Amino acid sequence: MSAPWDVVATVPDPELPAVTIADLGILRSVSIVDGRVVVTVTPTYSGCPALAEITADVRRALTDAGYADAEVHTVLAPAWTTDWITEAGRRKLAEYGIAPPGAVSPAPSVSLPLSVRCPQCGSPDTRESSRFSGTPCRALWVCRACREPFEHMKAL
Amino acid sequence: MSLAGYVLGLADDALVLAQRTSEWTARAPTLEEDVALANIALDLLGQARYLLTYAGAEEGAGRDEDALAYRRPSSEFRNVHLVELPNGDFGRTIARLLVFSAYRYELLTRLADSADPTLAAVAAKGVKEVAYHRDHAAQWTVRLGAGTTESRRRMGAGLADVWPYTPELFTEESAALVAAGVAVDPVSLSEPWLAFVSGVLTSAGLVVPDVAAAPGGGRRGVHTDAMGPLLDELQSLHRAHPGAVW
């Protein structure tokens, strides 16, 4: 039987199936309490509609691996940050066509726009076309070099 | 005021503005803006859900988030009037988003240090989202205010429409909760709020409107004529099919 962390860590994000919930840093902890697996997850944004799905997917993965009656809890603190996305997660996002976020600025009141690299052609000559996109965590960008639109996961 | 009552005010502001903002879905001036407003509404709805759940738990009467959102009459909603006002045109929508998100940003920044760990967690998470809403509204305010004669006229008119409803945001409430370090004193938010908003208006070539304050009363359950129709739509499914789930 695989260790419970290894089972849960492979659960893909329902809206970004190329990355797992461990890659995104939304899987906070996996422990065993009185013989039951207890998993803690945190939402990316308060309104993340995928959280119910993630909870169900985690429970299903554990049941399939032989861990019945798993508990899945949601925590809000500490608040999720894109700094928790792993190196593997960043690489997978870029391969999937989503430009990964830069480091979160230490002073959030200072807006310092850094270039976002086009995940298609790699050019840094890109511009933001909309601050919001298909999910709350993404923004819409366009590459000036290859002219392709792409999504960027915004630093949070 | 009870903790549940205070939390309900925080929740209802977010819930009602989420409902109003979502009215723009499929009707915004551009596709990008449609997506932006839908995302902003979703963030606010998410904040409202955590707060409603907490208010229900604190109240201890067995009401969950759905019971509080769908089965309360207007007189039990504790939101400020600003969030229930009809959207009007895009200028007014942006003016409201600017003044509201600037207020909520100041509020959540301080609430993140609340002695109540649940409120602190919801606030610390929400402030990151509201910072983005505030920035979005500020950018549009400057674009419209410093844009064409018509966009400037509409932005100024929208601002004058919503401005009378801003003093209600800074009305004193729940002194005991403030003294306990749980709630934030709304009066203390007025100054930093005005500093931010007037800075944006200056960049937009607009001025702070010189208009009289509206009466207020939302936190006591007294609402404007706009609240009834808003709840009719928000609660229509639960009124037709009580207890419906999906």
User: Which residues of chain A approach chain B closer than 8 Å at the C-beta?
Assistant: 43, 45-49, 75-80, 108, 111, 129-134, 136, 140, 156
pLDDT of A112 > 80? The answer is no
CA distances in angstroms from B210 to A39, B81, B164, B192, listed in the order given: 54, 19, 9, 19
Closest CA in chain B for residue A137: B39
Kindly report the nearest CA distance between residue B109 and chain A, in angstroms. Answer: 12
Partner residue facing A132 (CB), from B39, B45, B49: B39
Kindly report the nearest CA distance between residue B212 and chain A, in angstroms. Answer: 32
Q: Calculate ∠ Cα B104-B108-B113, nearest 5°.
A: 160
Domain residues for B65? 3-207+216-240
What burial class does residue B210 get, using C-beta atoms within 10 Å of its C-beta: 0-12 exposed, 13-18 middle, 19+ buried?
A: exposed
CATH number where B64 lies: 1.20.1260.10
Task: Return the residue in B17, B39, B43 with the most chain A beta carbons within 10 A, the one to mutate for interface testing.
Answer: B39
Domain ranges in chain A are 4-80, 86-153
Q: What residues of chain A lie within 8 A of the CB of B42, using their CB?
A: 45, 47, 49, 136
Cβ within 8 Å, pair A80-B45: no
Per DSSP (E only), the strands in chain A are 27-33, 36-41, 71-74, 98-99, 126-130, 138-143, 149-153
> Per residue in B26-46, pLDDT tens?
999 999 999 999 999 999 999
Task: List phi, psi (to 5°) of A29.
Answer: -160, 155
Using the Cα atoms of residue B63, residue B65, residue B69 and residue B74 in order, give the sign of their dihedral. positive
Cβ within 8 Å, pair A156-B35: no
Q: Is residue B223 part of a domain?
A: yes
Overall number of domains in chain B: 1
What 3-state class would DSSP assign to B210? Answer: coil
Kindly report the nearest CA distance between residue A139 and chain B, in angstroms. Answer: 9
Which helix (H) or strand (E) element contains residue B39? helix B31-59
Cβ within 8 Å, pair A46-B136: no
Side chain identity at B181, as an amino acid letter?
G
Q: What is the mean pLDDT of residues B10-20?
A: 98
Residue B112 has, within 13 A of its CA and on its CB side, a CA count of 16
> Per residue in B71-101, pLDDT tens?
999 999 999 999 999 999 999 999 999 999 9
Closest CA to B82 of B73, B90, B72, B92: B92
Asked whether the bond before B117 is cis by omega within 30 degrees of 0, the reply is: no
The class level of CATH for A4-80 reads alpha beta
What is the C-alpha separation between B70 and B131, in angstroms, rounded?
29
pLDDT band at A111 (very low <50, low <70, confident <90, very high): low
> Per residue in B136-182, pLDDT tens?
999 999 999 999 999 999 999 999 999 999 999 999 888 999 999 99
Contacts of A108 (CB under 8 A, 6+ apart): B128, B131
